[in-house]
Amino acid sequence: MKVIETALNGLVLLEPTVFKDARGEFCETFNARRFAALIGREVNFVQDNRSFSLPGVLRGLHYQHAHPQGKLVQVTQGAVWDVAVDLRRSSPSFGQWYGVTLSAENRRQLWIPEGFAHGFLALQDGAEFCYKVSDYWHAGDEYCIRWDDPALAIAWPLTGEPVLSDKDRQGVSLAEAPLF
């Protein structure tokens, strides 16, 4: 697995090694020992999640505060533009965002440590988005930062208005959000 460092402290892009032959292909998507060696610590994933989104659906920017989740995200069908925002006040990359295309074709994964908000925009083919989390979902601890907060100025690759859930329409600004 190839590790691609990002400009945000602790946020890592992973590119699996793909083995191809006449039968098709194989790649290892997760190995606890290798993952711990790559990020420098062990992570106990407790839950796997999957969502399917039609093109133009924007989900996020979500996070939990009292029960922060580290997330290992990947796309198994279609493509997304994935975004992580550093909410850790003590981090040198606090308040900065990173965006990258994740797709079934490029097989890339993004490790998003605890203390980040996360969101994505489903691109042309719709997207099956799969991810592991390091803590359980707690309904009363879920927060949402506005996808279009001018303080973040995220350059979403939109071709029109995104499709949003009611929860995501009610997101708050970074200035109003509980931080780490």
Mean pLDDT of the chain: 97
* Tens digits of residue pLDDT in 108-124: 999 999 999 999 999 98
Q: Are 61 and 85 in contact (CB under 8 A)?
A: yes
Return d(Cα 145, Cα 142) in angstroms, integer. Answer: 10
Report residue 99 CA to chain centroid gap.
Answer: 9
What are the start-end ranges of the E strands in 54-179? 58-64, 71-86, 97-103, 109-112, 116-133, 142-144
Quote the pLDDT of residue 90.
Answer: 97
Which residues are tagged catalytic? 62, 131
Q: Are 152 and 97 in contact (CB under 8 A)?
A: yes
Q: Which amino acid appears at position 135 of this protein?
A: D
CA dihedral 166, 159, 59, 108 (to 10 degrees): 170
Average pLDDT over residues 88-116: 98
Element spanning 5, H or E: strand 2-5
Homologous superfamily assigned to 45-176? Jelly Rolls (2.60.120.10)
Of all residues in the chain, the percent with pLDDT exceeding 70 is 100
Quote the pLDDT of residue 139.
Answer: 93
Instruction: Place 177 in a pLDDT band, splitting at 50, 70 and 90.
Output: very high
* Tens digits of residue pLDDT in 150-160: 999 999 999 89
Quote the pLDDT of residue 126.
Answer: 87
